Amino acid sequence: MIAAREIQVEKIAKSRLADTPLENIPFGRYFTDHMLEADYAGGEWKSVKVVPYGPLQLDPSTAALHYGQAIFEGIKAYRDETGNAYVFRPYDNWERFNKSALRMNMPTVPEEIFIEGMRKLIGVDKEWIPTMKEHALYIRPFMFSTDALLGVRPSETYKFLIILSPSGPYFAAPMKIIVEEQYTRAAPGGVGFSKNAGNYGGSLLAATEAKEKGYDQVLWTDAFEHKWLQEVGMMNVFFMMDGVAVTPSLDEGTILAGVTRSSVITLLQEMGIRVEERRVNIDELLAAYGKGRLTELFGTGTAAVIAPIKELRYKDFSLEMNLDKAPVQNELRARLAAIRSGAEADVHGWMWKV
Ligand code: COI
């Protein structure tokens, strides 16, 4: 196994850190000085190294650009008052990354490249971790096929990279969501559970049309009836009904198995709130809302953490949520922040020290 210390580092000549505003920094627009790069060929990973962040040179026939063998992850790193860097549950993302890889007929990435590479890279660019509230160093591991060939077949060569982006919150304000009834994100047997680039590309038109109607994102529904709820934009979704937290189950393979989703389920259970992972449809939500039993809606994701939803639109119905009374999502947000900052004991071992 490659240890982090064995990964070669080629340092940038002049750091860009002094020119980067680490406070109130937008999501995903600035990148640190270095990136991790590894290449797969001849059935094995080779040349793992940390190099200056910069453009890649690609053949115009690079397979990923044509046939979409491309997957990614989103992870966050934090820094405590003493300067130690921590990453939130990176092994869960590593496992999910490899599930995405298998589904997309790509090679898996071993721990010594994904985890040790991340350790090395963050070690080199540790000063870039923002410390401001709701800020983090967003970690983006990704892999794509690199064969220069237009034939449709799994590539024989791949590139794996990790880039780092100091970032503030993804959503600045509570969201207005519309139930999607025309487009489909995922169907059983498809690739909905995997974090492949195409899932995001395929969602953009629906999101654009939602914006034109005055909404921030769509709530995806099943491919057949457009009634069964899946996820919000690029986040998992939770509904508080009668004091029970309901979230769509992962069973059909149409939903991303969110790491924040899983953390939220654990925290809800600790808070004494029953969690139901099951099928849930829009009629149930409307009925619960009509009787005053639907009290909170929120999205969960690495980038967004806990994203409040203030309105859900379905046909002529508008479900308006009172965010002044949102105790569950507020407590979840506060507890996740406390675990990340070290103010609350990390009893689940979620914080991984770099
Ligand atoms: C994440 O939450 O990390 C995501 O994948 C969302 C991203 C596409 C911005």
Query: Does residue 343 form part of some domain?
Result: no
Regarding the beta carbon of 303 and ligand 1, being less than 6 Å apart is answered yes
Pocket flag, ligand 1, residue 184 (CB < 6 Å): no
What is the Cβ-side half-sphere exposure of residue 143, based on CA atoms within 13 angstroms?
Answer: 29
For residue 247, what pLDDT is reported? Answer: 98
Q: Is 301 in the pocket of ligand 1 (CB under 6 A)?
A: yes
What is the H or E stretch that residue 265 is in?
A: helix 259-270
Q: How many residues comprise the chain?
A: 354
Q: Are residues 274 and 332 in the same domain?
A: yes
Instruction: Record the tokens describing residue 143, joined without a space.
Output: 């892999």
pLDDT of residue 2: 64
Strands 75-79 and 136-145: antiparallel
Q: Is 74 in the pocket of ligand 1 (CB under 6 A)?
A: yes
Q: Which atom of ligand 1 is closest in space to residue 302's alpha carbon?
A: 2
Q: Is residue 344 part of a domain?
A: no
Look at the alpha carbons of 226, 232, 235, 241 in this order and tell me if their dihedral is positive or negative: negative
DSSP code, position 228: B
pLDDT for position 5: 66
Residue 341 in any domain: the answer is: no
Q: Please identify which residue in the block is written with the tokens 């449809």.
A: 281
Which residue, 145, 241, 258, 249, is CA-closest to 194?
258
Q: What is the pLDDT of residue 263?
A: 97
- CA gap 243, 316 in Å, rounded: 26
Number of the ligand 1 atom closest to the C-alpha atom of 74: 3
| Nearest residue to 345 via CA among 259, 257, 294, 270 | 270
Ligand 1: distance of its center to the CA of 307 in Å? Answer: 13
Ligand 1 proximity of 308 Cβ (cutoff 6 Å): no
CA gap 193, 252 in Å, rounded: 9
* Boundary of a domain, candidates 169, 195, 215: 169
Together in a domain, 179 and 162:
no
Contact 43, 21 (CB under 8 A): no
Pocket test for ligand 1, best of 163, 234, 235 (most atoms within 8 A of CB): 234
- Residue 204: which residues within 8 A CB-CB, separation 6 or more? none
* Residues 139, 243 within the same domain: no
Q: How many domains does the chain have?
A: 2
CB 263 within 8 A of CB 295: no
Domain range for residue 18?
4-169
How many A from CA of 36 to the centre of ligand 1?
Answer: 19
The verdict on the CB of residue 302 being under 6 Å from ligand 1 is: yes
The CB of 136 under 6 Å from ligand 1? The reply is: no
Q: Give, as one character, the DSSP assignment of residue 298.
A: E
Please tell me whether residues 236 and 300 are part of one structural domain: yes
pLDDT of residue 172: 77
Which CATH number is 210's domain given?
3.20.10.10
Among 140, 236, 302, name the best residue to mutate to test ligand 1's pocket (greatest count of ligand atoms within 8 A of Cβ). 302
Instruction: Kindly list the distances between the CA atom of residue 237 and the CA atoms of 38, 94, 98, 120, 232, in Å, as whole numbers in the listed order.
Output: 34, 22, 24, 34, 6
pLDDT tens over the chain, length 354 residues: 566 668 999 999 999 999 998 888 999 999 999 999 999 999 999 889 999 999 999 999 999 999 999 999 999 999 887 888 999 999 999 999 999 999 999 999 999 999 999 999 999 999 999 988 889 999 999 999 999 999 999 999 999 999 999 999 888 789 999 999 999 999 999 999 999 999 999 999 999 999 999 999 999 999 999 999 999 989 999 999 999 999 999 999 999 999 999 999 999 999 999 999 999 999 999 999 999 999 999 999 998 899 999 999 999 999 999 999 999 999 999 999 999 988 899 999 999 999
Closest-CA residue, ligand 1 atom 3, reads 74
Assess if residue 346 is contained within a domain.
Answer: no
Q: Quick one: pLDDT at residue 342?
A: 86
Question: Is the domain of 303 the same as that of 159?
Answer: no
